[in-house]
Structure 1
Amino acid sequence: GGEYESFVLDAPHFSKRIEIEKSTKEWHGDRGRLVIEEASLRDKLGN
């Protein structure tokens, strides 16, 4: 068994969207992760 995580950046019930500005990928053998170093809230685009 494996495991997979997700991160939601925008959804209908969010008043703003999340924008990842700086991130780093880290791998250790067959396992990895995305380290979010900087993020901000932004107005949603169009509708």
Structure 2
Amino acid sequence: MFWTIIGILFVLWLLGFAFHIAGGFIHILLVIAVIVLIVKLVQGFIANG
């Protein structure tokens, strides 16, 4: 589910570049998705030791 959301946001981000659709909003969502991804990865590394 998490990876699906990231994939959808990435595709929307690319479409925003191609067609200038809500560009600012999509970029903000992508930044949030990347931050969440980094937090999840760090939590995984900490949990696994």
Could you tell me the TM-score, scaled by structure 2's length? 0.25
Q: Point out the structure with max Rg over C-alpha.
A: 1
Bigger share in helix: 2
Bigger share in strand: 1
Could you tell me the TM-score, scaled by structure 1's length? 0.25
